[in-house]
Structures are given as structure tokens and as C-alpha cells.
Structure 1
Amino acid sequence: MSTLKEPGTGKPAGKPAKAGKKRKYTLAIVVMAAVVLFGGGFLTANLTADPTASDEYIEMDALASKASGERDSIDAQRLRLEETLAEQQAAMTERENAVVVQEAAVKTKEEESAKTIAEREDAVKKREDAVVGAEQKQAANTIADGTWVVGVDIEPGVYRTKSDVGSSCYWAILASGTNGDDIIANDIPGGGFPTVTLAAGQDFKSSRCGAWVKQ
């Protein structure tokens, strides 16, 4: 049986041509299905893969952990430095306060010492002044050997020898202005502590009797 051909093409006519198209269509479907299956599998594999298991993620996570650790270390160091600084500041403040207290104590002691010294010096001066005053008063109220005008050279009053007189002691109370011619009283006691009473308008003469002190 002979096969018919299409005029001018040399190809079989009728059903044989349709069979070729069907095979091409089927092949295209198979290829597309394979592409879809392969692509879907690749996509599914990418979607279902754990991103934290990748080398890049692990490396980045390690760097982040290292940076966090370094930051924590720096924070801890800063905190220790701040605590140390605060302790040093507190110690310095305590030392400064101690110095202030010590200086105040020293100042108080110096003031007290100065006050004590001033009081002692004042007391010594008072005693010295008292002694000087007593000596001056005693000197003013003491009569030595010589002739003295009562009321001018010596004060009126009662006088007594300071020491025991000897046998050569002589004293005389004279009327003033008589050049010793008017003797009111005189004596050669010969010993002991003779006493005389002198008044204004009189002269007093003492010879070898020592000092006479006003009583």
C-alpha cells in the first residue's frame, strides 16, 4: 500500500503529520515539568535550609559575641575605675578633713599656749611690778644715815631701824631751820631696834644706825 504525500512538500499527508506535532508537544511538557520540579526543589531547599547554620552567619555571630564581650569588659573596667576614683576621692576628702581637724587642734593649742604664756607673763609682770612698787615704796619710806627734812625729804610718821643697831648709833630730832641748835629729842640706844616719831617742821639726823623703815 503506497503512502500519499502532500503536493509540493514531499511529506506524508494526513495523520502522519499530526503524530509528529504530538510528540513535540509531549516533549515540551516533559521539559517544563522537569524545570518546574527542579526549580521548586531548589526553592524548597533554600526555603527550608537553616540560615543560622551557614558559615557566614556563624562568623558574624562570633564577631558579634566578641564585640559584646569586649563591650562588657570595657564597661566593667570603667565601673572599676569609677569605683576606684570614688574611693580615692573619699580617702582624699577624709585626709583633707583630718588635716583641717589637726590644723584646728594645732591652732587651738597655739592659741591656748599663747594665752597661757600671756597670762604667765602678765602674772610675772604683776609680781615684778608689785615687787618694784614695794621696793620703791620701801625706798621712799626708808631713811639712811644723814640729816633729812620731814615733809620734804622724808614723810612724817613712825620709823624703826631695819636692823639691830650697834653701840655707836646716834639719832636726833631737830627743829627745822635751827641748824641743829634746837634739839627736840636724841639718843644713843646702844643696841636693839630704836623707834622715832617724826612730824612736819622737824629735821631728823641719823648716824651709824643703819636704815630706818616707816611703819
Structure 2
Amino acid sequence: MTDINPAMGVPPKPEGSPSYTAPGAQPFISSPTNRIAGKRRWLGLPSKMTGRAKTGTGSNPASPRGGSQGRGSLRIAWYWAAAAAVLFLIGGLVLGATLPDPKKSKEFIALQSEKDGVSADLVKLQSRYNTLNSSISGRESTISTKESAITVRESAVKAAEENVKKREEAVTAAEKTKAANTIREGTWTVGKDIEPGTYRTASDVSGSCYWGIYRTGSNGSDIVDNDIVTGGRPSVTLSAGQDFKSSRCGSWTKQ
């Protein structure tokens, strides 16, 4: 006991707390472990296991309510989880069996039929395209061949035209030369109208062919030479500064 001053009038505090023990029951010993167990029972929680065997199996015989109660709760929870999984699986199977097949619906069948029709049209169009493309390729090849032939012909025609042009130019030059070397009916001044040289009639003359050579500017009064021919092919030699007159003799050609 703790000594307290009696002069204060306070009785001394007895050692230890009084305890009540029911008849035939073991006395209750207040300890931290017992107080915690009491609070758990008051809250409705299972009592905490007081101990396990060192081997890890079973529970302490002194605490029969610890390990068996925890394992029982775990078994119940596992049973509920297994039952929920089985129900979920069965529900999925039933739902899958009861749902209609979307491929058998009218909408799907109509779309599939439309797709088949479009695919068939596509095949026809592709075949038509291939035929047209082949025909176009053949026509283009034929056109290319014809164009090549036309090009060759145009080149030949152009060459022929150039040859004709050259011939015409040659003929024109020859005609000009011939014209320059030919004397027809009339009076001509040598060196101006006709070239000097020897000239002869192109054919035999008949009747009375008159030719005369005069000094230029004498108006036919200064006769250099003249003659009247009734046959054959007469010839004359002309020089610059002279006039030549031909009548009924035909054409004269320079020799």
C-alpha cells in the first residue's frame, strides 16, 4: 500500500483492483490481451488467433476458436466466388445461345446480295475494260503504222515535187535559152533583141523567103546583106550593131 498522510483525512488506496468471480467460474484476470479480445467480441469480430504451432499447421489447443474459424470464412468466400463464376459462365452460354445470328438477318442477307451484285458488275466492267483496252491498243498500233506509211509517202511526194520543180526549172531555162537563140518574123537589133552568132532556119523554106541585114539606125536604108530564098534552109551570120529582118522564112535557130 502507498502511504498517505492521515492528517489529510484521505483513506489509503488498497493495492490491486477488486474482482468479481461468479460461483464455479475461473477468476477473470485483466490483461491487455484479454481486453483486446473483449473489444473484438463486443464489435462482433472473431477473436484473434492466440497462437500457431511452430510447424505452421493447426492451432494452439489453448485457443480452439482461432484457426478453424478463419479457415471456415475463407472456404465460404471461395465457395461464393466459384458459384459466381459458374453463374457468369452459364449466363454467357445461355445469352450466346439465345442471341440471333446476325448473318441470318434480312438486312445482312440484303447487303450480301447487293455486294454480290456489285462484285458481278465489277467483273463485267473489268472484262469490258480489258476488251476495249485491247481494241484501242490494236487501233493505236494500226494508226501508228499508217502514220509511218503516210510519212514515207509524204517524203516521196516531196522528193518527186522537188524533182518536178527542178525539171520545170531546167525546161524553163532551156526554153529561155531556146527563146534567146531563136529569131522569129520581124525586125530585131543584134546585141539587144537577139544574140550575135550564126542562125539557120528551123525547117526548109518554100515560096519567097526574104531576109536582110542592115546597119543599126539606118532604118533599112544601109543594107549589109539580103536575099530571097525559095527553098532549103538558109543561114545568116549576125554581129552586134546590126538589124536583122525576116519575112516568110519561119524561125531561125542559133547554131
Q: Structure 1 length normalisation: TM-score?
A: 0.56
Distance in 2 between the 1:193 and 1:178 partners? 28
* Rg larger for: 2
In structure 1, the partner of 2:22 is: none
Considering Cα pairs closer than 8 Å and 6+ residues apart, tell me whether 1 or 2 has the greater RCO.
1
In structure 1, the partner of 2:234 is: 194
Deviation of 1:180 after TM superposition, in Å, equals: 2.9
Is residue 2:183 matched to residue 1:155?
no
CA RMSD, 1 decimal? 3.8
Partner AA of 1:167 in structure 2: G
Residues 66-103 of structure 1: CA deviation (Å, up to 9, x unaligned): xxxxxx99999888766655543332222121121122
Q: 2:224 aligns with which of 173, 184, 190?
A: 184
Which secondary structure state, in structure 1, belongs to the residue aligned with residue 206 of structure 2? coil
In structure 1, the partner of 2:175 is: 135
Deviation of 1:114 after TM superposition, in Å, equals: 3.1
Partner AA of 1:169 in structure 2: C
Distance in 2 between the 1:164 and 1:125 partners? 36
Q: 2:155 aligns with which of 115, 132, 139?
A: 115
Q: Which runs of 5+ in 2 are unaligned?
A: 1-96, 105-111
Distance in 2 between the 1:86 and 1:179 partners? 99
Distance in 2 between the 1:88 and 1:145 partners? 83
Q: How many residues align?
A: 161
Partner AA of 2:220 in structure 1: G
In structure 1, the partner of 2:246 is: 206
Q: 1 or 2, which has the higher helix percentage?
A: 1
Deviation of 1:150 after TM superposition, in Å, equals: 0.5
In structure 1, the partner of 2:209 is: 169
Relative to 1, partners in 2 of residues 1:145 and 1:74: Cα closer, same or farther, differing over 3 Å? closer
Partner AA of 2:179 in structure 1: A
Deviation of 1:161 after TM superposition, in Å, equals: 0.9
In structure 2, the partner of 1:124 is: 164
Deviation of 1:190 after TM superposition, in Å, equals: 2.1
Residues 94-153 of structure 1: CA deviation (Å, up to 9, x unaligned): 212112112212322333333333333333333333333333332232211222110111
Partner AA of 2:202 in structure 1: K
Q: 1:99 aligns with which of 121, 139, 162?
A: 139
Is contact 1:167–1:188 with CA below 8 Å preserved after alignment? no
Which secondary structure state, in structure 1, belongs to the residue aligned with residue 213 of structure 2? strand
Residues 41-71 of structure 1: CA deviation (Å, up to 9, x unaligned): xxxxxxxxxxxxxxxx8xx99x88xxxxxxx
In structure 1, the partner of 2:18 is: none
